[in-house]
């Protein structure tokens, strides 16, 4: 008796069940996730206004190709680097579409950059030319997000205070565009610095 078809069907059933358990179930569970709390106590907090618009700028500029937004507590040394205090969890991303977890780290992870780099001026200078804030960085300058214009009357109070070697010609100033403002607001809004009970942390792993 030829048992080939029965073996094939058995293998197909096993593979199908494995696929369902490893992919379908987690997707369904993630789809049922709900935020914790409301208002200012909501976890995760919603990005609104300029920060929400900055998310579009982040996508348009392809930042996701070089940066991740996921802290890995169990792999590598993200926590030791100061990139976060716990592993990123599905709940962190429930409001995001698309999700910018990323797959390539040419630059540092940004999941908590709003916590560890909370100064707007640092981000403006970094986007204008990363060499100002991070000498040796392989990140390209995003100076096209800024306007270099002639000073007429009083200088703008929003003009960048650039170090020598990066300043425009005498009589000119560099001012952020709305896209630059939005992108900086998005950076400042990136944070996973809140507790999620099921999230692994170094303390929980040590306890086990």
CATH number at residue 157: 1.10.760.10
pLDDT at 74 (0 to 100):
66
- Specify if 112 maps to a domain: yes
Q: What is the pTM of this model?
A: 0.81
Domain containing 113 equals 49-207
Residue 25 lies in a domain: no
* Residue 175 placed within a domain: yes
Please report whether residue 40 resides in a domain. no
Distances (CA, A) of 6 to 11, 33, 144: 9, 40, 64
Whether 32 is covered by a domain: the verdict is no
Given a cut of 90, is residue 155 above it in pLDDT? yes
C-alpha span between 76 and 57 (Å, rounded)? 29
Greatest Cα pair distance, the chain, in angstroms, is 96
SS3 content of the chain, % helix, strand, coil (to 5): 40, 5, 50
Check whether 24 has a pLDDT greater than 80: no
Within a domain: residue 81?
yes
Most confident by average pLDDT, 18-27, 79-88, 186-195: 186-195
- pLDDT band at 183; cut points 50, 70, 90: very high
Nearest to 125 by CA among 163, 156, 151: 163
| Per-residue pLDDT at 33 exceeds 90 | no
Question: Please, are residues 115 and 143 in contact by the beta-carbon 8 Å criterion?
Answer: no
Q: What is the pLDDT of residues 117-130, one digit of tens each?
A: 999 999 999 999 99
Work out the pLDDT band at 21, boundaries 50, 70, 90: very low
Q: Can you give the pLDDT at residue 73?
A: 73
Q: Evaluate whether residue 8 is within a structural domain.
A: no
In a domain, 16, yes or no: no
In the chain, the number of structural domains is 1
Residue 146 β-bridge partners: 176
Q: Residue 156: pLDDT above 70?
A: yes
């Amino acid at each position: 008796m030829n048992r080939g078809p029965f073996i094939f069907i058995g293998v197909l059933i096993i593979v199908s069940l494995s696929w369902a358990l490893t992919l379908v179930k987690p997707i369904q569970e993630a789809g049922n996730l709900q935020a914790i709390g409301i208002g200012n106590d909501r976890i995760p907090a919603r990005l609104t206004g300029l920060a929400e618009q900055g998310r579009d700028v982040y996508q348009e500029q392809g930042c996701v190709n070089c940066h991740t937004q996921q802290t890995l507590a169990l792999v590598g040394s993200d926590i030791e680097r100061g990139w976060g205090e716990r592993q990123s969890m599905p709940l962190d991303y429930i409001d995001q579409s698309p999700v910018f977890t990323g797959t390539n780290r040419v630059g540092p992870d940004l999941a908590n950059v709003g916590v560890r780099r909370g100064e707007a001026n640092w981000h403006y200078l970094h986007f204008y030319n990363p060499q100002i804030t991070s000498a040796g960085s392989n990140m390209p300058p995003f100076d096209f997000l800024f306007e270099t214009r002639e000073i007429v009357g009083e200088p703008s109070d929003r003009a960048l205070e650039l170090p020598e070697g990066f300043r425009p010609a005498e009589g000119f100033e560099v001012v952020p565009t709305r896209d630059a403002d939005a992108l900086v607001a998005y950076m400042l809004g990136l944070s996973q610095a809140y507790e999620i009970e099921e999230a692994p942390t170094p303390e929980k792993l040590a306890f086990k």
